[in-house]
């Protein structure tokens, strides 16, 4: 997991250069949680979300913070 304080537009540019498939979750300007994904199969989306959850719970994040 990488963390950054960069604006959303720059984070999306970074993601476009790095990933082939992705799930992006966040809060819109009205305060609602929303998701954008390139994955069609809900099972694949859930797999990525669970993998991320387990990684966070185990403290598996990179030490590097992208600023």
Domain-embedded: residue 67 = no
- CB of 56 within 8 A of CB of 1? yes
For the entire predicted model, the pTM comes to 0.71
* Gap between the Cα atoms of 21 and 42, Å rounded: 13
Domain-embedded: residue 17 = yes
* Beta-bridge partner residues of 3: 65
> Quick one: pLDDT at residue 63?
55
Q: Specify the number of domains making up the chain.
A: 1
In the numeric block, the tokens 């009205």 are attached to 30
Domain-embedded: residue 55 = yes
Domain-embedded: residue 21 = yes
Question: Which of 36, 53, 47, 40 has the alpha carbon at shortest distance from 1?
Answer: 53
Domain-embedded: residue 16 = yes
Supply the range of the domain harboring residue 57: 3-62
Residues of the chain with pLDDT under 50: none
Q: What is the mean pLDDT of the chain?
A: 87
Using only C-alpha atoms, the chain has a radius of gyration, in whole angstroms, of 13
Domain-embedded: residue 45 = yes
> Quick one: pLDDT at residue 61?
60
């Amino acid at each position: 997991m990488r963390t950054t304080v960069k604006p959303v537009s720059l984070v999306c540019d970074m993601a476009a250069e790095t990933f082939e498939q992705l799930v992006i979750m966040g809060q819109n300007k009205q305060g609602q949680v929303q998701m954008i994904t390139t994955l069609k199969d809900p099972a694949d989306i859930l797999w990525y979300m669970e993998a991320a959850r387990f990684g966070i719970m185990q403290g598996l994040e990179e030490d590097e913070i992208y600023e």
